[in-house]
Structure 1
Amino acid sequence: MSIKEIYIFGNKLVIYELDDVCDSVSGRALTGSWIWDSALLLSNWIATHRQTFEFAGKTVLELGAGTGLPGMTAARLGAKRVILTDIEPLVPGLRKSVEANGLGERVWVSRLVWGCDELPSRLVESGEVDAVLMSDVLFDAEEMAGLAKTLKEVCGEGTKVWAATEVRESTSDCLAELEEEGFGIVELPSQLGGESLDCFDNFAVFQLIPPKQTQFEDHSAQMEE
């Protein structure tokens, strides 16, 4: 296990990276065990686009949290409740990071497998969330049906969903699968503080618009006609 100190526009966060967690089937190290650049991008993006969304007093869910950097950044930005979720082997590392940053009163950690019928009890207690954060989850098109099901269950009519990702060959396939599930996809400017950083040239930030929101917009447009 290693410990990293990350600074997101003046906010220091301590992150525990696990080096001894492997997939029980393949034996490979779980990729969510360490910080990926897309998590750094999303964390910096939400910190520099607060005119787009004010986190103070909001409830935030991070799916596929890995090390939980974006979710804990949201907590530092004033979110009243943050729920970090991932598969069971990554939960201990998330809890260590939450504890190290003194965020235990506002940040919960729960196991969540996309597509499962049963949501974590604390997520159910929180009701509809105000924002969903995801980083580097758009890599396997076969996982998108499960992700879409979970998003549909947790998103309300006002929920904002943002996903940061390294752009790979599989990214367009993942987005196409989500569109098939009824989601609107909008690529957002990924500049940070008015600057475009070279290290994020091959990365993108997307807003996912849940089906219930796109249906509401279509209905409103028909009413106006």
Structure 2
Amino acid sequence: MSDADTFIRSVAVECLPGVEKELSIHQEQVGDVGTVVWDAALVLSYYLQTPKVKDLIYGKKIVELGSGTGIVGLVASLCGAAEVMVTDLPDLLPLLNKNIETNKENIHGIVTAAQLTWGKKEHLTSIQSFIRPDCILIADCVYYRDAVRPLAQSVLALLNSSNSSVALCSYEDRDTSDKAELQIEFRRILQEEFGLRIAFIPFHEMHPEFRAEDIHIFKISHKTNTEA
């Protein structure tokens, strides 16, 4: 992938109080939903920089699902994650690797890109053999009906590696097509079928400068996890 195929969005990241670094995120000139930085990804990225949430990230192992440009996973790395794996379909891996390479001087620990087709057991097994995540990150990934259950299955499989692990999921309200219905179905599967706990993050706990009334973040965890 050449630079002519992409354009850059700069994102400031407060790694430590008073210490700021800048990410250069390549986005594709032409592509599908995963090739640009969406607002819900920005809101989640800045939520990771709030003092309370940094404890979930610092020194931890992170997996991002449906990473697209990889912005959320890269922000987690700059916030002190020990290891980050950004994942997506095969056609998004060149963009993910380009953004890892572009920002390698600012990366805190290890960041790798891996293929993951949601719900595919061999992909999940491969990921689990390399990394057992403490935290899973998901930004604006509920788009297509056929992908809702496989995404939920992937969350469950990765959370099962540790009862103390959690997932943070952001999404933007959309009244087009069936997007609102799909969000409800995603949460229903997680709660009613898989027995997971969902807790929405209060608006006032989000980053004060990077939040919006129509963008939400919720935490997914095992019901036995009293920390979630």
Q: So what's the TM-score if we normalise by structure 2?
A: 0.80
Q: Which residue of 1 aligns with 2:193?
A: 181
Q: Which residue of 2 aligns with 1:56?
A: 58
Q: Which runs of 5+ in 2 are unaligned?
A: 1-5, 15-19, 175-179
Structure 1 Cα separation of the partners of residues 97 and 207 of structure 2: 34
Question: Deviation per CA, 1:50-81, whole angstroms, max 9, x where unpaired?
Answer: 35634222100000001111111110011111
1:108-123 matches, within 5 Å, as 108-119=112-123, 123=127
Out of 8, 11, 18, the position equivalent to 1:6 is 11
Out of 17, 21, 26, the position equivalent to 2:27 is 17
Identity of aligned residues (%): 24
Q: Which residue of 2 aligns with 1:101?
A: 103
Structure 2 Cα separation of the partners of residues 6 and 131 of structure 1: 22
For 1:160, the aligned partner's letter is V
Q: Which residue of 1 aligns with 2:3?
A: none
CA contact (8 A) 1:45 1:191 kept: no
Q: Could you list the structure 1 runs, at least 4 aligned residues long, displaced by more than 3 angstroms after superposition.
A: 49-52, 139-142, 190-194
Q: How many residues align?
A: 205
Q: Which residue of 1 aligns with 2:74?
A: 72
Q: Which residue of 2 aligns with 1:221?
A: none
For 1:78, the aligned partner's letter is G
For 1:159, the aligned partner's letter is S
CA contact (8 A) 1:58 1:80 kept: yes
Q: Which residue of 2 aligns with 1:148?
A: 152
What secondary structure is seen at the aligned counterpart in 2 of 1:129?
Answer: coil
Q: Which runs of 5+ in 1 are unaligned?
A: 21-28, 219-225
Structure 2 Cα separation of the partners of residues 135 and 45 of structure 1: 12
Structure 1 Cα separation of the partners of residues 218 and 208 of structure 2: 18
Deviating more after overlay: 122-131 vs 61-70: 122-131
Residue 201 (1) aligns with residue 213 (2): yes
Cα distance change on mapping 1:72 and 1:51 into 2, 3 Å: closer
Question: Deviation per CA, 1:10-44, whole angstroms, max 9, x where unpaired?
Answer: 33111111224xxxxxxxx3100000000100000
CA contact (8 A) 2:77 2:109 kept: no
Structure 1 Cα separation of the partners of residues 207 and 11 of structure 2: 21
Structure 2 Cα separation of the partners of residues 176 and 143 of structure 1: 14
Question: How large is the RMSD of aligned CA atoms in angstroms?
Answer: 2.4
Per the TM alignment, residue 49 of structure 1 is displaced from its structure 2 partner at its CA by: 4.0
Structure 1 Cα separation of the partners of residues 42 and 48 of structure 2: 10
CA contact (8 A) 1:56 1:79 kept: yes
What secondary structure is seen at the aligned counterpart in 1 of 2:123?
Answer: coil
Out of 177, 184, 191, the position equivalent to 1:172 is 184
Cα distance change on mapping 1:124 and 1:118 into 2, 3 Å: same
Per the TM alignment, residue 120 of structure 1 is displaced from its structure 2 partner at its CA by: 5.9
Out of 157, 167, 184, the position equivalent to 1:161 is 167
Residue 82 (1) aligns with residue 84 (2): yes
